[in-house]
Amino acid sequence: MNHPQVSGNKWWKLKYNLEYALKKNLTILTFGGAYSNHLYATAKACNILKIKSIGVVRGERTLPLNSTLAYAESCDMKLHYISRRDYKNKGQETVLESLRDKFGDFYLIGEGGTNDLAIKGCAEWATMLQNELEFDYVCLAVGTGGTIAGLSVGLDKSKKIIGIPVLKGAQFLESEIRKYKTKENVKLIYDYHFGGYAKKNKELLDLISNFESSYSVPFEPIYTGKVMFGVLDLIFKGYFEIGSRVLVLHTGGLQNFVGNNFNPKFSYF
């Protein structure tokens, strides 16, 4: 609903970063994997605003490009590929210095778009949600932790925030989220990663397909499908108090998945 390409939480995480880069006339450099929703959204947003953009991609260039990277290039984002080892160390000054040597000065936005300005945007989103809707819980998928941290900053402490990490072994996110002066209203539930990032099984795919056919609401299996699966499972297990109002945030990123047919046979429907 925010924008067909700069979708979901990406709009809010990028809002103040784009404003800053535009004001200072800076080139944006950011990081992502081959199917990064963040690269896709950043490329489009920068294209609209006539901001130069560079996407640093994990791994080697493989042709033909997948739809995400092809779209980023079509939006005039310059793609640069680095080894998985260098990508793992992308925050180290040696890696950043090599990128400056190649591209000149740039405005750095981290993987997934999480930084102080992203927190500011997501906190603003939280305030808008709180003013427009009545809810007791808000649930969302968690990747780098920026969106859930911003929601905690922006929401009243009475609102309970449930995060579903999509990574296996994502307990490190607890400390990452706390860096941003969050309230004590955040809980991460680690039971719905389906084996790790981008891992999936038939049960998850059936839920996605059945939900779309039943309610015309599409999900994808990397982020939004996992949070919806988790919320439904928690409801059936009695996690939420009877009468609670549960808000599930759809964080977008559907470019690779809309319209897929997963043969619905999910027992919740």
**225-264 per-position pLDDT tens digit:** 999 999 999 999 999 999 999 999 999 998 866 544 433 3
Global pTM? 0.91
Same domain, 129 and 236: yes
Assess whether pLDDT exceeds 60 at residue 109.
yes
Same domain, 30 and 148: no
pLDDT in tens, 150-196: 999 999 999 999 999 999 999 999 999 999 989 999 999 999 999 99
How many domains are contained in the chain? Answer: 2
Judge whether 2 lies within some domain: no
Peptide bond into 264 cis (omega under 30): no
Q: At 69, is the secondary structure helix, strand, or coil?
A: helix
DSSP 206-223: HHHHHHHHHHS----TTT
d(C-alpha 147, C-alpha 264), whole Å: 30
H or E element in which residue 123 lies: helix 116-132
Identify the domain containing residue 28 by its residue range.
Answer: 9-113
The position carrying tokens 């981290």 is 110
d(C-alpha 142, C-alpha 180), whole Å: 15
Q: Which two tokens stand for residue 184?
A: 């004590």
Report the CATH number at residue 188. Answer: 3.40.50.1100
Distance of CA 122 to the CA centre of its chain: 12
Close Cβ partners of 120 (under 8 Å, ≥ 6 residues apart): 16, 150
| Sheet-wide strand order for 160-165 | 186-188, 160-165, 137-142, 246-248
Give residue 181's pLDDT. Answer: 86
Same domain, 15 and 86: yes
Judge whether 265 lies within some domain: no
Close Cβ partners of 20 (under 8 Å, ≥ 6 residues apart): 26, 107, 117
| Cβ(155)–Cβ(161) below 8 Å | yes
Give residue 255's pLDDT. Answer: 81
d(C-alpha 150, C-alpha 130), whole Å: 13
Same domain, 126 and 237: yes
Interval 68-85 mean pLDDT: 96
3: exposed, middle or buried (Cβ count in 10 Å: 0-12, 13-18, 19+): middle
CA distances, 8 to each of 4, 34, 115, 195 (Å): 9, 19, 17, 25
Ramachandran angles phi, psi of 246, nearest 5°: -110, 120
Same domain, 16 and 57: yes
Q: Which residues pair with 141 in a beta bridge?
A: 164
pLDDT in tens, 49-74: 999 999 999 999 999 999 999 999 99
Judge whether 264 lies within some domain: no
Give residue 262's pLDDT. Answer: 38
Mean pLDDT of the chain: 93
